[in-house]
Amino acid sequence: MRYTVHLETDVRAPLAQHLLDHYALTAKATPTGVEINGNLPPQLAHFTASGAQFWVQFEITVPRSYSVEAKTGVGDIETEDIGGVATLMTQGGSIRAGRIGVGFAGKSVSDRLVARLETEGGHIQVQDVAGDLKAFTAGGHINAGNIAGDASLHSGGGHIRAAQIGGRADLQTDGGNITVGQAGNLVSVRTGGGQIDFGEVRGSVRAQTGGGGIRIMYVSGPMEVESSAGSICLTRVAGTVRAATAGGTITAWINPDAPTSGGTVQLPGLSQLTSGNGDIIVFLPRNLAADIDAQVESGGERRIEADPALALQVQNHGNGPVRALGALNGGGPPLKLRTTGGKIRLQFLDSEIALRETLIQEQKERLMDHLNAVQLTQTGFVKPPSWNPPEVVAEPQDRGDWIDRWLSSLESTFLGSIHEDPDELQKHLVSAPTPVYPDIARRAGVQGIVRLQVRATKDGRIEVDKILSGSPTLADAAIAAVKKWRVRPFSTAGRPVDVISTVTFNFQLH
């Protein structure tokens, strides 16, 4: 095994030489391998406390089959491929790793923990993992390639993205987006306010977001999804589904996998879609055997629209609740639809084939863009497009001017940007073209509010950090428009700064 250690300080000699001479470095063989430790002696710590800067960089070469355990107080950790188990921990830096768990002969060590990556503040980026992966960051992003085993990925506020997860998945972030290309088992995800995007899940899904939308291409097993405000789009529902949102639209294509006796298909059990004030749009196969129970709490009979061939029996109470019931193809497991103030639309799958295919293709491209942006290569590391510090909640705007300037100075110094009120952002706009209503959303009857977190850059551009809430299709249109916006740059203490704010769009069909 080979190693080099590079030491650097900004103080002058003879203190510099004294610091470098007394840096404690030990390297020794142990019964399990090799151990290297580097520390600044305690009696010299007061020099750095007085303002002296001290940098240490380790470069270590190990045999291909070795396991690696690396721990550092503040710095970054970067590795190429590791053949054995990897434990990488830093209290303040970022972690960037190649493939983990593939030995010299290419043998997989799946079905066991092979990677544990932890940081108290930085980002985590890793290529393929041949077994289980546990990753934690207090505030950064987590970007992973193909994980053969289980995945436990937790962030205090950053985005979480994984190309493929072979085992069970437990993904949690307090505010970022969650994106998964493929999963082969139970997937449990939760975000405090970001967007959730799935490709294909060959198992069951539990997904919850505090404010963003949920978009899932295909799930073979049971599905439970919930959003506090965003819209939900499910382009293929093969198992039971329970979806709920407080105010967004729910669009679902019901399409079970295999036909039952008589050529009919049915969901395995009770399914229910519930929205507070949003619409519910459901596409059904003509051979579905189900008991339909659709109800709108207020608005009268016109609040439910259904293909006449469904032969639903409508129970109307004036402008009050309206309910539609029907037993399709002799009846089957119940499909319940509930909305308080929206509309319910029921159509057959073959009435909008092109629309569904367009949405699926759009989701594939969306996933590919998200995952390819963070996918690592064999020869280096690719920096993700949204490599920004986690959002810090802005202080109230009713404080004195001097406190506002002080807070802005702190944000600018430590985050490289400041937060600004949406109204103030509007005052700085030079050009702001409005979004074009997407044709597929118009045809599907999708409408509602879209909220974006944006960043006004020092050169007058607008970048979108994340989707806070809204239908993914509408959000894409809003993002396309915002990227064309231009602003007068912001400054604080005479220096140009980036500004983080929010913009809101209200898409309504007339």
Token couple for 438: 């997407």
d(C-alpha 299, C-alpha 305), whole Å: 13
Q: What is the pTM of this model?
A: 0.73
In sequence order, the β-bridge partners of residue 224 are 206, 242
> Taking the CB of residue 15, how many other CB atoms lie within 10 A of it?
13
SS3 94: coil
Q: Closest by alpha carbon to 57, among 12, 25, 104, 89?
A: 25
pLDDT value, residue 405? 40
pLDDT value, residue 384? 31
Q: Which residues contact 380 (CB under 8 A, 6 or more apart)?
A: none
d(C-alpha 265, C-alpha 106), whole Å: 44
Question: Residue 207: what residue type?
Answer: A
pLDDT value, residue 352? 66
Domain ranges of the chain: 159-290+338-378, 388-507
B/e letters for 157-196, b = 16+ CB within 10 Å, e = fewer, are bbbbbbbbbbbbbbbbbbbbbbbbbbbbbbbbbbbbbbbb
Q: Which helix (H) or strand (E) holds 175?
A: none
- Cα atoms in the 13 Å half-sphere on the side-chain side of 149: 19
d(C-alpha 259, C-alpha 214), whole Å: 28
Per-residue pLDDT in tens (0 to 9) along the chain, 510 residues: 899 999 888 888 787 888 788 888 999 999 888 999 988 777 665 666 566 777 888 999 998 888 999 999 878 999 999 999 999 999 888 999 999 997 644 455 555 888 999 999 889 999 999 999 999 999 899 999 999 999 999 999 899 999 999 999 999 999 889 999 899 999 999 999 888 999 889 899 999 998 888 989 888 899 999 998 788 989 889 999 999 998 888 989 898 877 766 689 999 999 999 998 888 989 999 999 999 999 998 766 678 999 999 999 988 866 678 999 999 999 999 999 999 888 899 998 887 666 667 766 766 676 666 566 444 333 333 333 332 222 222 323 333 333 334 334 433 333 345 566 788 888 889 999 999 998 888 877 788 888 888 888 888 999 888 888 888 788 889 999 999 999 998 876 567 778 888 899 988 876
> Taking the CB of residue 262, how many other CB atoms lie within 10 A of it?
9
SS3 assignment for 6-30 = EEEECCCCCHHHHHHHCCEEEEEEE
Query: Are 365 and 181 contacting, i.e. CB atoms less than 8 angstroms apart?
Result: no
Q: Closest by alpha carbon to 160, among 390, 332, 341?
A: 390
For residue 3, which phi and psi values (nearest 5 degrees)?
A: -150, 150
pLDDT value, residue 388? 29
- Cα atoms in the 13 Å half-sphere on the side-chain side of 24: 8
Describe the crossing of helices 472-482 and 353-374 by its angle, rounded to 10 degrees. 60
pLDDT value, residue 90? 94
Its CATH class, for the domain covering 388-507, is alpha beta
Query: Are 466 and 493 contacting, i.e. CB atoms less than 8 angstroms apart?
Result: no
Q: Closest by alpha carbon to 213, among 159, 249, 167?
A: 249
